[in-house]
Each structure stands twice: as C-alpha cells, then as structure tokens.
C-alpha cells in the first residue's frame, strides 16, 4: 500500500461547548475519489476547514504525504498541494474570470496565462474570460472556482458540494473532469448531498454524524449500513 | 511640459496651489494603495504625513540636512512607523483596523507633543528660512508622479491583483495559497512612503510645524473623499479626485468662506449614495475599461 496522501488521526474541533468534529480518523490513498457525507451540521465543512488550516483543531493530527500540516497557515497548506472549493461560492467578484485564475500562481505570466486559458477552455468559459466573475451565473462561478483550484495543480482536491446549483449538462462535465483528475493520480475528497453523485463517483464514502465518523466503506455498503440510515432518517 | 515650466511664469498663488494639488495627489494615491486595493480602510493615514514632516523637520533644523535628503528620510521614517504598526494592526479586520489607525495618529501626535527637546512640543518647530518654493514644487510633482506610476505598475501586475483578492475575499485568497499577511504589509509600507516624503516637503515649504498642523484627522478624511470620488482601486481615480476636489474647494472657499465645509460634506454623502465606486470606478464597470485607467 502506498503512503496515504492525507492521514487524519483523532482530529477534534470544538466551538465553545459544541463539538463539531469528534476524534475523526481517516486516510486517503492516492488516485482515488472519496465522498464525505452526513446530515447538516455533522461537521463536514468544519473538517475541510481543519484540513486546510482555516480552523485550528484542538486535538489530533493531519498529515499530508507523510508530513504534518496541522498548525500551518492556510496559504502554506495550499502551496503544499491541497486545493479546495467552498460551499458558498468564493470567487473574487470584481476580478475577471481570467484574473481569478492568474492571481493563484507565481512565476512567468505568459505561462500562467496559457494555463489559465486552457483551464477556462476546459470548462467552456474562455469566451467569458474578461467578464467580472461576479457577473457570471451561479454555475459558471462554480466552474471558475473549480478550475481556480486546478491552477496550482494540487495533489489533493477538496470539493465542498460541487453539484449544488449546477445544471445537469455542466454537472456531467464537472464529474467527468473529476474522474480525469483521478486518472491522472490526483486524490479527490468531496462533500455532497446529492446521493446520485456520491454513489456514482466515489469509491469510498465516509459518513459523519454529530462530528463523529460513523461509517466508512464502498457506496453500496454504506447505503445499507444501519447507523447511516438511522443518522439520516432517525430510528 | 506645461507643469514643468509653469513656475517660470505662474503667479505666486498659482505655484502654491499647484504644489498643494501635487501633495494631495501623493496623499490620495498612497491611501489608495492600501485601502483602495486591499480594502483595509486606514483612518489615520495622515500619521505618515506627520511622521515624515517631523522626521524631515528635525533633520533640517537639528542636524542641518539639506531639504531634499531630509524629504527622502521623511519617507523612510514614515515607512519605519508603518512597519512597526502594520505588523500587529493588519491582523485586525474591517472597522477595527480603521480605529487602530485612528489611534496611531493620536499616539504620534501625543508623542511629538511630549518630547519637547527634539520636537519643540506643542509650541512647534521652526525651520531656518529658505526660499525654495520652486524646487519644492518640482520635488512634490516628482512625488505625485512617482506615487501614480507606482500605482500603475502595481495595478497592472499580478501583485496588484493579489492585493485586490484581499479586498474581494481574504479567506479565499489564503486558501488559494496567497500569503495575505505579507501582501498587506508590503502594500502598507508602500502606502506610507509617499505621505512621508510629502510631509517633509510640506514642512520645509511652510517653515514651521506643530503637532496640530501635521496630524489633523481632516487630512485623512480629505484623502479618503478624493479617492472615493475619483474611484478607489483605479490608477487615475486619486489624481482626478485630488484635482477636482481641491480646485472646487478653492473656488468655493474664495467666494463663500464657511460654505466649503458644507459642500465637502455634501460631496461625501452624494458620492457614497450615488456612486460608491467613484467616477472612474463607475466608468470602468459600465464600459469595461481596462485596469490601466
């Protein structure tokens, strides 16, 4: 077995008296697509925030390619090769679609521009490259956010509800893109409420409930897990 | 060209007014570098003007420096203040940063009032007599031009775009691998140099400074209004704002003393309500103008 891309060990995060993430451990292998599901408020986004350094966890450790990253600043973690999107869109609204991508990388401008244009073409937005990102439709902004993550060519990509608000055609393109990334050896962890997407795309699914990991396994197995059914539908 | 030969045939008042306009361009342009680009609103930017004025004046009066080197030293002095204050204060967000900057200005004013031996305290500091209005005119013009050129270079670079990502969404910028703390600090340091040099030049030009005259809150407000009027985050917005507001203020002041403050207040309200992006910001969005304006 290869070294895990990401290894989380006993991670906990409390906000005052609320335990948002409770001793969660999980491990991601390279070249696979993982799903993270759970009812609202089960700690999925908080877990993303802890991985990317936006929140500081109180206990546990996070390792990326065998190197500890908990305690690092968000930009340091991003530079190590973890990219993420947000549940609520966070493009830079008064920067053009192209500029949204250009700001991410350093080095040669011509090279960055070529890469940014290639990525915009990939999501069929090259015609709108000079439009302010804030003027694009919701789905288009989501795509800008998605390819912005790819500018740095990250090893691990965290997607927070990539399917929400995206129409079917766009969504299929997006899911194809995710699969192609996987085929190139990237690891993807996505939070998603659309079970069709999760079941069709993910090879392994983690289920969170009240901050705890209650199940882990192949999608088919997860669907019949009693604790998962209970978490979603009650007893 | 016209500006370069103007002192040769302009009236004394004209040269002095132009000098003032250059000063306001340097001040407004500098405020734009930190606040227009990163969105971190500095409510105490006149502190750098004052720091530069005192640095320059002390070097001229106590150490006998020539005024041009003293002016450059004023820029360095203001930059040093920015470094000390920027490191902790730029961690503050929104109104807290604005208030901290307001506090900085009051602290500096209190400090120069206290250290009487060096600064003359509340009774001020007089500089040796020197008739150098015309050379200072050129120096101030150079400062204004440099600040504007710097703004152009920054706004058209990826460094400038990164500063704007801080204004747009600082958290997303961090998550994309942008070291926002370092970017903010660089912008802050650059934004202190212009006011520092302008302060030292103004001190030399006036020949006398005191705490109340170089640390007035009104100066910060004026820079802010000029930038908001012209268009924050644009290259020429601060220039346009400085020229239009200074000229209109002079006209109104000459005809109706006391009314000019009323007019100024009315402009603030009108700009904020009707065109929060300012003249150039509005045109830029409406007509898709490039960032070079």
Orientation of helix B133-155 relative to helix B2-9, angle to 10°: 160
Q: Do A92 and B175 touch (CB under 8 A)?
A: no
Query: What pLDDT does residue A171 have?
Result: 86
| Other C-beta atoms lying within 10 Å of the C-beta of residue B60 | 25
Q: Do A92 and B178 touch (CB under 8 A)?
A: no
3-62 of A, contacting B, C-beta below 8 A: 52, 54
Query: What pLDDT does residue B184 have?
Result: 96
Give a three-class secondary structure readout of A131-175: CEHHHCCHHHHHHHHHHHHHCCCCCEEEEECCCCCCCHHHHHHHH
Considering only CB atoms, B164 lies closest to which of A52, A79, A95, namely A95
Residue A113: C-alpha distances to residues A95, A118, A141, B152 (Å): 15, 8, 19, 20
Q: How far apart are CA B264 and CA B280, in angstroms?
A: 19
| Other C-beta atoms lying within 10 Å of the C-beta of residue B82 | 28
H-type alpha helices, B133-277:
133-155, 158-175, 180-206, 211-214, 217-230, 237-255, 259-274
Alpha-carbon dihedral angle through residues A44, A49, A51, A55, given to the nearest 10 degrees: -130
- Contact in structure between B198 and B205 (CB atoms under 8 Å): no
Q: Does residue B165 sit at the A interface (CB-CB below 8 Å)? A: yes
Query: What pLDDT does residue B293 have?
Result: 80
Nearest to residue B147, comparing CAs of B45, B255, B287, B67?
B45
Orientation of helix B158-175 relative to helix B180-206, angle to 10°: 140
- From first to last of its 235 residues, what are the pLDDT tens digits of chain A? 578 999 999 999 999 889 999 999 999 999 999 999 998 889 999 999 999 999 999 999 999 999 999 999 999 999 999 999 999 999 999 999 999 999 998 778 899 999 999 999 988 899 999 999 999 998 899 999 999 999 999 999 999 998 888 888 888 888 988 999 999 999 999 999 888 889 999 999 999 999 999 999 998 888 888 888 888 877 6
Strand-pairing partners, residue A63, are A7, A68
Q: Does residue A95 sit at the B interface (CB-CB below 8 Å)? A: yes
Chain B residue with Cα closest to A112:
B158
Which one-letter DSSP state was computed for residue A210? T
Q: Does residue B182 sit at the A interface (CB-CB below 8 Å)? A: no
Q: Do A92 and B172 touch (CB under 8 A)?
A: yes
Q: How far apart are CA B59 and CA B53, in angstroms?
A: 10
Q: A19-50 burial, b if ≥16 CB within 10 A, otherwise e?
A: bbbbebebbbebbbbbbbbbeeebbbbbbbbb
Query: What pLDDT does residue A235 have?
Result: 64
- Residue that has been written with the tokens 């045109």 in this structure: B283
Q: How far apart are CA B239 and CA B242, in angstroms?
A: 5
How is residue A20 written in tokens? 């948002």
Structural domains in chain A plus CATH codes? 6-233 (3.40.50.300)
- Contact in structure between B150 and B168 (CB atoms under 8 Å): no
Query: Which of chain A's residues have a Cβ under 8 Å away from the Cβ of B165?
Result: 92, 95, 103
Considering only CB atoms, A103 lies closest to which of B162, B171, B179, namely B162
Coil vs helix vs strand at A19: strand
Strand-pairing partners, residue A205, are A35, A217
Strands A59-64 and A156-160: unpaired
Q: Does residue B210 sit at the A interface (CB-CB below 8 Å)? A: no
Nearest to residue B33, comparing CAs of B70, B82, B68, B80?
B82
Q: Return the residue in B177, B278, B281 with the most chain A beta carbons within 10 A, the one to mutate for interface testing.
A: B177
**Helix and strand tally (H, E) in chain B?**
15, 2
Q: Does residue A79 sit at the B interface (CB-CB below 8 Å)? A: yes
Chain A residue with Cα closest to B162:
A103
Helix, strand, coil content of chain B in percent (nearest 5): 80, 0, 20
Report the alpha-carbon angle A171-A177-A182, nearest 5.
Answer: 130
Q: Does residue B106 sit at the A interface (CB-CB below 8 Å)? A: no
Element (H, E) at A64: strand A59-64
Residue B234: C-alpha distances to residues A155, B177, B219, B241 (Å): 37, 25, 21, 11
Q: In this predicted complex, what is the ipTM?
A: 0.91
113-132 of A, contacting B, C-beta below 8 A: 130, 132
What are residue B157's phi and psi, to 5 degrees? -110, 170
Q: How far apart are CA B120 and CA B126, in angstroms?
A: 9
Q: Which residues of chain B have pLDDT under 70?
A: 1
Considering only CB atoms, B169 lies closest to which of A75, A92, A102, namely A92
Q: How far apart are CA A76 and CA B187, in angstroms?
A: 20
Coil vs helix vs strand at A130: coil
Q: How far is the alpha carbon of A235 from chain B, nearest alpha carbon, in Å?
A: 39
- Contact in structure between A226 and A71 (CB atoms under 8 Å): no
Q: How far is the alpha carbon of B233 from chain A, nearest alpha carbon, in Å?
A: 11
Q: Do B176 and A52 touch (CB under 8 A)?
A: no
Query: What pLDDT does residue B1 have?
Result: 66
Nearest to residue B205, comparing CAs of B67, B11, B112, B78?
B67
Q: How far apart are CA A65 and CA A79, in angstroms?
A: 13
Residue A18: C-alpha distances to residues A9, A42, A206 (Å): 20, 11, 21
Q: B222-250 burial, b if ≥16 CB within 10 A, otherwise e?
A: bbbbbbbbbbbbbbbbbbbbbbebbeebe
Model-level pTM greater than 0.90? yes
Q: How far apart are CA A115 and CA B17, in angstroms?
A: 50
Considering only CB atoms, B174 lies closest to which of A74, A91, A152, namely A74
Nearest to residue B33, comparing CAs of B18, B20, B45, B49?
B45
- Contact in structure between A189 and A156 (CB atoms under 8 Å): yes
């Amino acid at each position: 077995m290869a070294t895990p891309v990401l290894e989380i060990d006993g991670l906990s995060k409390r906000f005052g008296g609320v335990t948002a993430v409770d001793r969660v451990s999980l491990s991601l292998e390279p070249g696979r697509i993982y799903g993270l599901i759970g009812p609202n408020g089960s700690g999925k986004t908080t877990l993303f925030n802890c991985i990317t350094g936006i929140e500081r966890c109180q206990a546990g450790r996070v390792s990326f390619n065998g190197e500890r990253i908990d305690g690092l600043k968000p930009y340091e973690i991003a530079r190590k090769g973890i990219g993420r999107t947000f549940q609520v869109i966070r493009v830079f609204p008064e920067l053009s679609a192209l500029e949204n991508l250009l700001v991410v990388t350093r080095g040669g401008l011509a090279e960055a521009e070529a890469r940014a244009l290639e990525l915009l073409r990939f999501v069929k937005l090259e015609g709108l490259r000079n439009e302010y990102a804030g003027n694009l439709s919701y789905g288009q902004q989501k795509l800008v956010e998605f390819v912005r993550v790819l500018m740095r060519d990250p090893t691990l990509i965290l997607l927070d509800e990539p399917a929400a608000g995206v129409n079917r055609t766009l969504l299929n393109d997006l899911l194809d893109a995710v699969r192609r990334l996987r085929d190139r050896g990237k690891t993807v962890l996505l939070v998603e409420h659309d079970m069709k997407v999760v079941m069709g795309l993910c090879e392994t699914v983690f289920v969170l409930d009240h901050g705890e990991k209650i199940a882990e396994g192949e999608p088919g197995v997860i669907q019949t897990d009693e604790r998962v059914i209970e978490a979603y539908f009650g007893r | 060209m016209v500006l370069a030969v103007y002192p040769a045939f302009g009236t004394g008042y004209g040269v002095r007014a132009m000098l003032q306009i250059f000063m306001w361009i340097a001040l407004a342009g500098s405020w734009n570098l930190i606040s227009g680009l990163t969105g971190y609103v500095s409510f105490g930017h006149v502190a750098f003007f004052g720091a530069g004025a005192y640095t320059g004046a002390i070097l001229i009066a106590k150490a006998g420096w020539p005024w041009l080197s003293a002016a450059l030293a004023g820029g360095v002095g203001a930059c040093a203040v920015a470094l000390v204050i920027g490191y902790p204060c730029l961690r503050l967000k929104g109104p807290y940063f604005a208030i901290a900057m307001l506090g900085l200005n009051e602290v500096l004013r209190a400090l120069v009032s206290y250290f009487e031996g060096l600064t003359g305290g509340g009774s001020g500091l007089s500089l040796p007599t020197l008739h150098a209005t015309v050379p200072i005119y050129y120096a101030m013009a150079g400062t204004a031009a440099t600040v504007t050129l710097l703004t152009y270079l920054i706004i058209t670079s990826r460094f400038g775009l990164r500063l704007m990502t801080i204004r747009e969404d600082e958290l997303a910028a961090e998550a994309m691998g942008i070291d926002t703390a370092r970017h903010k600090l660089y912008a802050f340091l650059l934004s202190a140099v212009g006011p520092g040099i302008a302060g030292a030049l103004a001190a030399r030009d006036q020949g006398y400074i005191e705490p109340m005259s170089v640390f007035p809150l009104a100066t910060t407000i004026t820079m802010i209004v000029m930038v908001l009027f012209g268009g924050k985050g644009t290259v020429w917005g601060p220039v346009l704002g400085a020229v239009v507001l200074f000229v209109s203020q002079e006209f109104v002041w000459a005809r109706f003393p006391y009314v000019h403050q009323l007019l100024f207040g009315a402009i603030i309200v009108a700009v904020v309500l009707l065109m929060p992006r300012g003249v150039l910001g509005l045109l830029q969005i409406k007509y898709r103008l490039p960032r070079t304006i």
